[in-house]
């Protein structure tokens, strides 16, 4: 008898969890257990989109969103040449605002994040929990050890093709262009993923997302949709620029010759100023409150630890895409770079992102780079 999709997924999930457990200490048992259980619930609670659309009890709003997601997925496969598998063919309605919560931690006077290493994903700068209470409990332990900690909700993530990632209620109601951005980003992780190199992985997926949404809007967008996404992108750019600026000030503070007490006082002052400047930015946006959740917990180094991860190499990947001219060639080129060791990989990307030596108007070019860095 041929095993069902669920039984195959269950065995794979349990096998991965068992392997992880054998590699971990006893103190990690509960962590891997909740991770396995959380992923299993996402799989077992999901239903095919066709079933939701055929169900007369499905609300019209959800029906519209599922149809939009299906069209976006079709574009991702046909035009962006992203993987055509079971991902985003099912929908899961969960009873919480986020699919999981990430814990990020740094030393008190440093912006270098702690890392946690896992059998498949490699070493990453966060530790994910399907329960907010569990995430907060672990964060409390880290704070007792003197670390700065942030607990942040996550709407979506990729299992890197190990499982068929479902559409989830945590993001299905995003505006069309933002939904497209998310689906393109997460599917890109299934194309290329280098364990232990978050900067490479996230910058690559962000570059695919950006170029993908640009093309998708040209094909399916309308003026209202394009204007809304432009406003979203502009606010994101403004907010990232604000965080990058304060991250730089904090780095200068921690690298200075000041005493520990002086560094602490400057740190406090900078975080107060960051909150004040955010209120000014928010007023300039007409009161848009989409980034308020960033300030849900007291600000700390952990909030700014990974700010550059999603953006540093985006200009390099966009330049490579222009050079290769089509998606399959681009993915092959990215895969070749991925085979290099980390130092060589980053050197290649830095060279790709560098401005042409013969380009005119050096001052303007430098300003352009700064703008790109905070997209």
- Judge whether 67 and 53 are in contact, CB under 8 Å: yes
Cβ contacts of 68 within 8 Å, gap of 6 or more? 176, 179
Question: What burial class does residue 264 get, using C-beta atoms within 10 Å of its C-beta: 0-12 exposed, 13-18 middle, 19+ buried?
Answer: middle
Cβ contacts of 367 within 8 Å, gap of 6 or more? none
Question: What burial class does residue 303 get, using C-beta atoms within 10 Å of its C-beta: 0-12 exposed, 13-18 middle, 19+ buried?
Answer: buried
In whole angstroms, give the CA distance from residue 259 to residue 314: 37
Q: How far is CA 38 from the centre of its chain?
A: 19
SS3 152: strand
At 245, list the tokens. Answer: 């600026």
pLDDT tens by residue, the chain, 375 residues: 333 444 444 444 444 444 444 334 445 778 888 999 999 999 999 999 999 999 999 999 999 999 999 999 999 999 999 999 999 999 999 989 999 999 999 999 999 999 998 876 788 889 999 999 999 999 999 999 999 999 999 999 999 999 999 999 999 999 999 999 999 999 999 999 999 898 999 999 999 999 999 999 999 999 999 999 999 999 999 999 999 999 999 999 999 999 999 999 999 999 999 999 999 999 999 999 999 999 988 999 999 997 766 678 999 999 999 999 999 999 999 999 999 999 999 999 999 988 755 444 333 333 333 333 333
**pLDDT recorded at residue 27:** 52
At 74, list the tokens. Answer: 């079709």
The enclosing H or E element of 153 equals: strand 148-154
- For the chain, strand residue ranges (E) read 47-48, 90-92, 100-106, 116-118, 122-124, 127-129, 148-154, 167-168
Q: DSSP class of residue 170?
A: T
Tokens 């329960």 locate to 131
**Torsion on CA atoms 276, 277, 282, 286, rounded to nearest 10:** 100
In whole angstroms, give the CA distance from residue 300 to residue 4: 47
**pLDDT recorded at residue 369:** 33
Phi/psi region, residue 250 (left: phi>0; alpha: psi -120 to 50; beta: rest), is alpha
**pLDDT recorded at residue 272:** 98
Q: How far is CA 33 from the centre of its chain?
A: 24
Domain boundaries, the chain: 5-174
Phi/psi region, residue 149 (left: phi>0; alpha: psi -120 to 50; beta: rest), is beta
- Judge whether 156 and 186 are in contact, CB under 8 Å: yes
């Amino acid at each position: 008898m041929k095993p069902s999709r669920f039984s195959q997924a269950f065995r794979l999930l349990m096998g991965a969890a068992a392997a992880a457990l054998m590699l971990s200490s006893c103190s990690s048992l509960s962590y891997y257990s909740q991770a396995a259980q959380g992923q299993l619930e996402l799989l077992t609670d999901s239903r095919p989109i066709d079933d939701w659309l055929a169900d007369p009890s499905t609300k019209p709003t959800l029906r519209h969103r599922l149809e939009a997601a299906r069209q976006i997925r079709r574009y991702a496969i046909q035009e962006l040449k992203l993987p055509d598998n079971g991902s985003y063919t099912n929908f899961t309605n969960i009873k919480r605002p986020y699919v999981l919560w990430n814990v990020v931690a740094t030393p008190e006077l440093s912006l270098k994040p702690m890392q946690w290493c896992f059998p498949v994903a490699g070493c990453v700068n966060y530790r994910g929990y399907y329960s907010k209470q569990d995430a907060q409990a672990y964060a409390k332990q880290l704070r007792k050890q003197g670390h700065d900690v942030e607990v942040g909700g996550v709407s979506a993530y990729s299992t890197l093709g190990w499982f068929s990632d479902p559409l989830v209620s945590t993001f299905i109601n995003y505006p069309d262009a933002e939904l497209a951005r998310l689906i393109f980003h997460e599917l890109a992780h299934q194309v290329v993923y280098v364990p232990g190199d978050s900067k490479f992985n996230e910058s690559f997926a962000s570059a695919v997302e950006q170029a993908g949404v640009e093309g998708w809007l040209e094909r399916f967008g309308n003026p209202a949709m394009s204007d809304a996404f432009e406003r979203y992108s502009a606010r994101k750019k403004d907010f990232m620029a604000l965080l990058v600026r304060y991250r730089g000030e904090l780095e200068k503070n921690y690298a200075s010759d000041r005493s520990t007490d002086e560094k602490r006082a400057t740190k406090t002052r900078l975080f107060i100023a960051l909150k004040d400047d955010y209120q000014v930015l928010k007023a300039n946006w007409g009161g848009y409150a989409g980034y308020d959740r960033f300030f849900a917990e007291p600000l700390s180094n952990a909030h700014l630890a990974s700010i550059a991860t999603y953006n540093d190499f985006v200009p390099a990947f966009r330049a490579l895409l222009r050079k290769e001219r089509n998606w399959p060639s681009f993915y092959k080129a990215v895969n070749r770079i991925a085979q290099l060791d980390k130092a060589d990989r980053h050197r290649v990307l830095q060279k790709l992102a560098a401005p042409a030596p013969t380009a005119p108007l050096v001052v303007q070019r430098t300003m352009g780079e700064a703008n790109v860095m905070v997209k």
